């Protein structure tokens, strides 16, 4: 017995030692691979003969489906066209004054006069810039796709709740639907359903129902056990228990699902207009952007942002609405339903009035203001006035950050870029410094930092995209093994094998490079903001609305300001990725830091911690698991922005998806889309495993 324990102790003591020996052998092997690249180029470029014909298989598979069931899908498309065009014509037929009034009074009912004012201002802007019809067309798409998505999502969520066996399958499907970029499944929809507005509708439904499923499941499952038991003890049958106890108790979560579904549907509807678009607001933004008319594009982009915010606040308002006051239920019908009555009555009255005054029917041309002119002037002014700065920032980012990681210092340093030659002595000095750092870290007992430094200096020298693929396989597999075990290692290996064998490895590396920089920067900046926000309430109050806005507005609106100033290119894409991915990093770190248990903080204060010590030694270590969740979300956000960023010219998987869509090549688009999902899933599993391991090390969840 005692012998066993001794063995265990010994193996625990030597484990880090053994693992770092293994790590250094992997690093050495990587260097050997790189040294051999001249003789064996296949170590860098995965040989084409080994690539499996995944694209062809996907294409012929899709052809088959279109051949056999095309009729069915086109029939469905036609069926959906009916309610779609009905709502579309209804919304365009309604006088603007009536719609205005209805929207404002719904806002008031949802959350009060503040939102009503916001909605009134927002709708006035839309009217004022003359994009009313386009907005109504997009709204029609949302109005049809959201109810469909909510219904489907609720049914599937309920099924998952009732049959735990189905749940696994449901979760996998949802993961796939939410990680494969939306563009990738626009194409099959296009092939199956044909062109037209229905494409946007179906894409909207497909994109919007997963959050509904998740929230339904979550809500139903979170109903407290005692509430269920009290229902049972009241003698509820199974049906009664479900509809009278579970669903109403879960109502808030389910309504949050509706909120998320609405936003998802809207952002998809906007994106879908890239292909099926006709005179809706997404199309407006995109076509103007393509013509390099940024002012016009921004004007329309603001409309999208406003719509998204209004829809978000209204649905969230209904989800969080509290029953009015005491004795509300006692009041007569007219008072209990006053909002509804006033809305209907008011709408009818305004309609009748509008029959007499045509200005209330369609917004008079004289009141349309062209904001794009002044906007364009302002942009031009900024670009010309600050031209030097803009060029300088771009150049710095390129030469000192992006290119070294992409291609390696070995290739980037030249008299043109850095102002000097990367001579042999310099290279040797670089290598020696790296080695000294590695050894120093090792001697101070920080084995993992030592390995990390070694790995990073190698990547920085040779460039991420010039890394030998066997080395990447080794590093990733071994790392995931250490994080969680053989199961994760196999998953990661399988994912990487897919990227290699489907022939999208180079594009995948480009995506990882761009996304990696974006995520690293976003995480660093986001965490700093989160720390500041958790320490200073004023900063928190300042950041919250900005974060809300960044998270609510559809992704590609975010591109516009950056494109205007920095033109198209990878740097612009990077900025757009960061603008979006900073949000979760900030949110999670603030939330994690603020939720560190008060007892721990008080205990630390009693021991005489300074504010700084408290932050560094108590709060951050304890909030780390939650901050890691933030990193996980940052990565997911970054990857989802990658496809949108392809619109401004990147060269990675995102671009491939976009090309596939443009050429109608299902195989190319889909294999790249799946590739992005693979990267997302690997990143997700590995960060989750890391945070789990950390949590176990510090002895379970502390908070």
Partner 1 sequence: MPNRNNNDIKLSCRNVWKIYGGSPTKYFDKKKLFINSDTLNVVKKLRDDGAIPAAVDVSFDVHEGEIFVIMGLSGSGKSTMVRCLSRLVEPSHGEILLGGEDLLKKSKSELIDIRRHKMGMVFQSFGLLPHLTVAENISFPLRLQGLSNKEKREKTSRVIELVGLEGRENSFPRQLSGGQQQRIGIARSLAVEPELWFLDEPFSALDPLIRRQMQDEFLRIQSSLKKSIVFITHDFLEALRIADRMMIMRDGMVVQIGTPAELIANPVDDYVAEFTRDVPLMRVLFAKDVMDDNIEVEENMQGVQSCDSVEDILAQLSKNTKGVVVFDDGKAIGVVTPKSVVCALSRNAEKVTTELPPNEVV
Could you list the residues that contact partner 1 (CB under 8 A)?
A: 224, 226-227, 229-237, 240, 244-245, 248-249, 251, 323, 326-330
Whichever of 219 and 301 has its CB closer to partner 1, that residue is 219
Q: How far is the CB of 147 from partner 1 (least distance, A)?
A: 22
- The burial class, CB within 10 Å (0-12 / 13-18 / 19+), for 408 is buried
Shortest Å distance, C-beta 236 to partner 1: 5
Q: Output the smallest distance, CB 409 to partner 1, in A.
A: 58
- Min separation Cβ 372 and partner 1, Å: 48
Shortest Cβ 222–partner 1 spacing (Å): 12
Judge contact between 573 and 651, C-beta under 8 A.
no
Closest distance to partner 1 from the beta carbon of 233 (Å): 4
Nearest distance from residue 218's CB to partner 1, in Å?
16
DSSP secondary structure of 167-194: HHHHHHHHHHHHHS-HHHHHHHHHHHH-
- R_g of the chain computed on alpha carbons: 28
Residue (of 269, 152, 151, 273) closest to 203 by Cα position: 269
- 46: DSSP letter: P
Cβ proximity to partner 1, 234 vs 414, nearer residue: 234
Q: Which of 462, 520, 466, 507 is nearest to 650 (CA)?
A: 507
Helix axes 197-222 and 164-179, enclosed angle (nearest 10)? 140
Burial 638-675 (b: 16+ CB within 10 A, else e): bbbbbbbbbbbebebbbbbbbebbeeebbbbbbbbbbb
If the CB atoms of residues 49 and 330 are measured against partner 1, the closer one turns out to be: 330
* Integer Cα distance of 257 and 250 in angstroms: 11
Distance, CA of 112 to CA of 613 (rounded, Å) = 44
67 versus 225: smaller Cβ distance to partner 1: 225
As measured in angstroms, the least distance from the Cβ of 4 to partner 1 is 20
**Residue 230 vs 528, nearer CB to partner 1:** 230
Nearest CB to partner 1, comparing residues 321 and 693: 321
Smallest separation (angstroms) from partner 1 to the CB of 328:
7
SS3 480: helix
Closer CB to partner 1, 121 or 227, in the complex: 227
Burial of 108 (0-12, 13-18, 19+ CB in 10 A): buried
Distance CA 268, CA 133 (A): 19
CB of 237 to partner 1, least distance (A): 6
Shortest distance (Å) from residue 322 CB to partner 1: 8
For residue 359, give both structure tokens: 């200005």
Beta carbon of residue 235, minimum distance to partner 1 (angstroms, whole number): 3
Contact 591, 626 (CB under 8 A): yes
In the complex, the smallest distance separating the C-beta of residue 149 from partner 1, rounded to whole angstroms, is 24
Instruction: Provide the minimum distance between the beta carbon of 239 and partner 1 in the complex, in angstroms, as a whole number.
Output: 10
Which is closer to partner 1, CB of 164 or CB of 415? 164
Closest separation in Å from C-beta 225 to partner 1: 8
CA-based nearest residue to 571, from 648, 509, 510, 658: 648
Number of residues that make up the chain: 703
CB of 486 to partner 1, least distance (A): 25
Nearer Cβ to partner 1 (244/693):
244
Residue at token pair 């709502």: 87
Q: Shortest gap between Cβ of 232 and partner 1 (angstroms)?
A: 6
User: 251-276 and 281-290 are packed helices; what angle lies between their axes, rounded to 10 degrees?
Assistant: 40
Is residue 225 within 8 Å of residue 294, measured between CB atoms?
Answer: no
| Cα three-residue angle 516-517-521, rounded to 5 degrees | 115
For residue 179, give the nearest of 664, 649, 637 by alpha carbon.
637
Residue 357, classed as helix, strand or coil, is coil
Nearer to partner 1, 335 or 497 (CB): 335
48/226 with CB nearer partner 1: 226
Q: In this complex, which beta carbon is closest to partner 1, that of residue 48 or of residue 326?
A: 326
Task: Considering the complex, state which of residue 237 and residue 697 has its C-beta at the smaller distance from partner 1.
Answer: 237
Closest Cα to residue 528, out of 572, 586, 444? 586
Of the candidates 403, 457, 453, which has an alpha carbon nearest to the alpha carbon of residue 574? 403
Contact 491, 475 (CB under 8 A): no
User: For residues 331 and 446, which CB has a smaller minimum distance to partner 1 in the complex?
Assistant: 331
Signed CA dihedral, 421, 423, 426, 431: sign only: positive
Closer CB to partner 1, 222 or 611, in the complex:
222
Interacting residues of 7 by C-beta distance below 8 A, sequence separation 6+? none
Output 328 or 339, the one with its CB closest to partner 1. 328
CA dist 243 and 139 (Å) reads 31
Q: CA-CA distances (angstroms) from residue 548 to 211, 291, 584, 639?
A: 18, 30, 10, 20
The DSSP output letter for 147 is H
CB-CB contact of 644 with 555 (8 Å): yes
Mark out the alpha helices in 357-397 (DSSP H runs). Answer: 372-385, 387-396
CB 200 within 8 A of CB 268: yes
Q: Please say which residue, 331 or 444, places its beta carbon nearer to partner 1.
A: 331
Four-CA torsion 222, 227, 229, 230, nearest 10 degrees: -170
């Amino acid at each position: 017995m005692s012998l066993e324990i001794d063995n265990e102790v010994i193996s625990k003591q030597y484990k880090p030692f053994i693992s770092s020996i293994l790590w250094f052998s992997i690093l050495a092997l990587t260097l050997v691979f790189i040294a051999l690249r001249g003789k064996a180029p296949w170590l860098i470029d995965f040989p084409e003969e080994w690539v499996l014909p995944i694209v062809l298989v996907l294409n012929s598979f899709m052809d088959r489906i279109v051949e056999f069931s095309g009729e069915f899908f086109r029939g469905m498309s036609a069926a959906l066209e009916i309610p779609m065009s009905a709502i579309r014509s209804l919304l365009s037929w309604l006088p603007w004054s009536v719609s205005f009034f209805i929207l404002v009074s719904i806002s008031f009912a949802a959350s009060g006069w503040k939102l009503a004012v916001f909605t009134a201002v927002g709708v006035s802007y839309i009217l004022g810039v003359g994009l009313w019809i386009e907005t109504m067309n997009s709204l029609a798409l949302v109005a049809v796709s959201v109810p469909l998505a909510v219904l489907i999502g609720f049914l599937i969520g309920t099924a998952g709740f009732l049959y735990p066996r189905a749940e696994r399958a449901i979760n996998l499907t949802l993961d796939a639907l939410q990680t494969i970029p939306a563009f990738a499944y626009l194409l099959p929809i296009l092939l199956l359903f044909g062109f037209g507005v229905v494409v946007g509708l179906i894409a909207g439904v497909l994109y919007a129902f997963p959050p509904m499923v998740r929230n339904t499941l979550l809500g139903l499952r979170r109903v407290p056990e005692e509430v269920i038991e009290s229902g049972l003890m009241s003698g509820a049958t199974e049906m009664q228990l479900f509809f009278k106890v579970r669903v109403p108790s879960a109502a808030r979560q389910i309504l949050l699902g509706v909120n998320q579904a609405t936003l998802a549907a809207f952002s998809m509807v906007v994106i879908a207009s890239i292909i099926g678009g006709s005179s809706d607001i997404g199309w407006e933004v995109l076509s103007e952007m393509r013509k390099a008319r940024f002012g016009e594009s921004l004007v329309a982009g603001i409309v999208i942002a406003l719509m998204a915010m209004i829809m978000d606040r209204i649905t969230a308002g209904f989800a969080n609405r509290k029953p009015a006051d005491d004795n509300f239920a006692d009041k007569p019908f007219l008072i209990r339903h006053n909002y509804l009555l006033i809305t209907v009555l008011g709408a009818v009255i305004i309609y009748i009035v509008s029959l007499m005054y045509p200005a209330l029917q369609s917004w008079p041309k004289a009141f349309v203001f062209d904001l794009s002119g002044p906007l364009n002037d302002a942009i031009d002014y900024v670009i010309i006035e600050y031209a030097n700065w803009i060029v300088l920032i771009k150049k710095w980012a390129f030469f000192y950050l992006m290119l070294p990681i992409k291609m390696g210092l070995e290739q980037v340093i030249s008299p043109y870029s850095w102002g000097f030659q990367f001579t042999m002595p310099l290279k040797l000095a670089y290598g020696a410094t790296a080695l000294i750092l590695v050894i120093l870290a090792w001697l101070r007992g920080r084995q993992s930092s030592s390995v990390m430094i070694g790995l990073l200096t190698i990547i920085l020298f040779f460039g991420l995209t010039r890394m030998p693929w066997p080395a990447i396989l080794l590093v990733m597999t071994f790392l995931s093994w250490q994080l969680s075990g053989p199961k994760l290692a196999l998953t990661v290996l399988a994912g990487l094998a897919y990227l290699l064998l489907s022939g999208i490895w180079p594009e995948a590396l480009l995506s990882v490079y761009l996304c990696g920089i974006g995520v690293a920067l976003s995480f660093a900046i986001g965490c700093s903001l989160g720390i500041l926000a958790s320490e200073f309430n004023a900063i928190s109050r300042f950041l919250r609305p900005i974060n809300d806005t960044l998270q609510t507005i559809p992704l590609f609106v975010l591109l516009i300001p950056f494109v205007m100033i920095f033109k198209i290119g990878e740097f612009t894409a990077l900025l757009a990725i960061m603008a979006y991915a900073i949000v979760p990093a900030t949110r999670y770190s603030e939330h994690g830091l603020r939720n560190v248990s008060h007892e721990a903080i008080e205990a630390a204060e009693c021991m005489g911690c300074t504010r700084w010590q408290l932050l560094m030694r108590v709060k951050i270590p304890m909030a780390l698991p939650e901050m890691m969740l933030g990193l996980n979300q940052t990565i997911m956000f970054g990857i989802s922005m990658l496809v949108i960023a392809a619109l401004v010219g990147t060269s990675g998987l995102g671009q491939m998806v976009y090309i596939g869509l443009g050429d109608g090549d299902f195989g190319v688009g889909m294999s790249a889309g799946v590739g992005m999902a693979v990267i997302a899933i690997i990143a997700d599993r590995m960060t989750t495993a890391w945070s789990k391991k950390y949590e176990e090390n510090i002895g379970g969840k502390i908070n």
